[in-house]
Each structure stands twice: as C-alpha cells, then as structure tokens.
Amino acid sequence: MSGGAVSRSPAHTAVLRLPGGRTLLVQRRTQRANLLLALLLAAAAVMALSLGSTVVAPHDAVTALFGGGDAVTRFLIQALRGPRLLAGILTGTAFAVAGCLMQTLAHNRLATPGIIGIDNGATAFAVASVLGVGIAVAPPAMALVGAATATALAFGLAGGTGTRGYRFIVAGIAIGALFGAVTQLMLARVAIDAANQAYPWTVGTLNARSADAVWVLGAGVAVGLPAALALARTLTVMRLSDFTAQGLGVRVRACRWLSLAVAVLLTALAVAVAGPVGLVGLVGPEIARHLSAPASVPVVGAALAGALVMVLADLAGRLLLAPIEIPVGIVTAVVGGPYLLWILLRASRMTP
C-alpha cells in the first residue's frame, strides 16, 4: 500500500500508513470533534473581525484581512481587529494546551495553571517588569521566570508527591494567593499612572497588546504545540499508571518534566500577552475531552477549544456593554467560575 494510505480498521478508528513503514492510529470521533471545533473557530474569527462599533460585512472583513477592499476597512481589520484576533487565538491555544498537559500529569481536572498558581506567579513577575520593580527585563521573560518559580514552590510544598494528589493542588492555590497578594501590593505602592499601565496584567485583556509579546507567544506556540503533540501518545499510556508506563518502555520521569516545561512555557508567554486568563485552561480541555475519544489526550482539540473560548469571550466583552469594554479575564471568570463549581459538586456527589 502506498505511503499516506488509510487501511481498514475498527469502525471507530483509522490506520494511516506513513512513509517508512510507520503507522498512525487515528480516532474517528476525535477527527470529527477537531473538524467541528475548527469550523466553529473559523466562524467565531469571522464574527470577531466583522462585529464591533463599526460593523463590517463578513465577506468585506475577510477580503480586507488579505489586503483587499477600501483603505478604511483594511486599517480597521489589519491594524485593530486582526492583531487582537491573533492574540486571542494564540493565548487561548497556549492556556488550553498547558491545561491539558497539567490535567493529564496530575490525573486531576482541577490541575490547571490558573488554579495551581502558575498564572499568578507569571503575572506578578510581569507586573514587576512593567512597574520597573527589580531588574528591568521584558515582560515575557519575567513571566517565564515567575511561572517557573511558582511551579518550583508548588513542587516543594507538595512534599515529594510530584504533580499527583490534592496536596500539589492545594500548595499551588496557596502559592497563587501569595503571588496575587504581591501583585496587589506592588500596584498599591506605585503612582496611579504606573498602576494603570500594569492593570491589564491583573484582569486579563486583549486590548492593545504588545506586538512583540504576541510574536514571542507565536514562536512559543510553534514550539510548544508540536512538543505537546509528540508527548500525547506517551501521556496516554501514563494515564494508566507509572508502573505500567515504565513496563511499556516509557521514560516516565523525563516525559513528566518535559510536559511540565512545555506547560510552564506556554502559560508564561500567554500571561505576558493577555494576563491571567487561566480558566481557559480548565474549560478548553474539558470541551475537547467531552467531544473527543475518551482514551486520548486531546491536545489538538484542547488547542482549538481554547482558542474558540478566548475569541468568543473577547467578542462578548466588546459587545455586551458597548461602548464599555469588559476585560476578557472577567468574561471567562463569569463563565468558568460556575463550571468549576459544577465540577466540584459533581465530584462530591460521586464520592461515597
């Protein structure tokens, strides 16, 4: 059979034969879910380009995005709405993929970067960079240092349990609260103009984001997403148990540390652009998990769902109280907060 052909397989899977004699098992349900999410994301992107204080016809918005149409529409789409849409897609992808990796490592749906304090650690260091507190380093670099610091502290307080168990989550919540307090203290001790400049990093927004930070995030996603995809098969095996994974030849420790590094990188760079919008890391993977095959680690689905949630949340924030704009972090908190409570209540009912 020629390279790239699909061979017969059970009804719910397809085997894709690759060059070199390799094969790839593809879940049909996961394929359909990813296609659905991609179509919804495309529709949401067109809506984000079209709707606002000035309404543009969808066809005209897409035409202007690729350089056509009149000068005013091109400026509106290419200089204002287009970069904002790109920032939303990239940050949503980064937060959701990081959340998917963390949830899989911890075997816990609550173990997302936003809940275990990585977001707040990155935010505190990014705000310190903006305010000029300590070493003057660019926000993306400082956010990465903050995310790594928060992760290391959570590991230390977990007392050797690693990423598994509620002790790691509780330690992360405590670390997040500590860094949140530090951020508020820094804002309270500076001039009002400086505090206003740093304010977007405390609530989460896509308005007037730095182009440099967005490009850095794009590079991070270009590295982190393929890395997460490469780790997905190994993480699927690790969902059984470390002992089983080791018996199948998986280097469990190396895979765990690499997955954690990818999650920290994506979270830090996303925070440097949009601030702490960590609930996307909870909602995105959950949407993908419900739509995809249950045995898989839905990295692609999580990326698409996270981008979709971020774009729709930002669009809702722009339109609901127009001309007043609601930060995207507040919109996601309004949606994600009740969802988090539902998860907790459902877990308590299932516990005997």
Which residue segment(s) compose the domain that 135 sits in?
Answer: 33-350
Q: Using CA atoms, how far apart are residues 75 and 206, in angstroms rounded to an integer?
A: 18
In a domain, 12, yes or no: no
In a domain, 6, yes or no: no
CATH number at residue 175: 1.10.3470.10
In a domain, 209, yes or no: yes
Could you tell me which residues come within 8 angstroms of residue 211 by beta carbon, excluding any fewer than 6 positions away? 83
In a domain, 15, yes or no: no
Q: How many separate domains does the chain show?
A: 1
Q: H or E segment at 214?
A: helix 211-238
| pLDDT tens figures, 245-291 | 666 667 777 888 898 899 999 999 999 888 888 789 888 998 988 88
Q: Which residue has the tokens 């350089």?
A: 67
**How much of the chain, in percent, has pLDDT values that exceed 70?**
82
In a domain, 304, yes or no: yes
In a domain, 14, yes or no: no
Average pLDDT rounded to a whole number, residues 325-345: 81
pLDDT the model gives residue 135: 54
In a domain, 228, yes or no: yes
pLDDT the model gives residue 205: 87
- Evaluate if residue 5 carries a pLDDT over 50: no
* 170 torsion bin: left (phi>0), alpha (psi -120 to 50), beta (else): alpha
- Angle at which helices 328-350 and 280-291 cross, to 10°: 60
In a domain, 22, yes or no: no
Higher-pLDDT residue of 65, 19: 65
Q: Using CA atoms, how far apart are residues 98 and 332, in angstroms rounded to an integer?
A: 17
Q: Helix, strand, or coil here: 17?
A: strand
Higher-pLDDT residue of 336, 81: 81
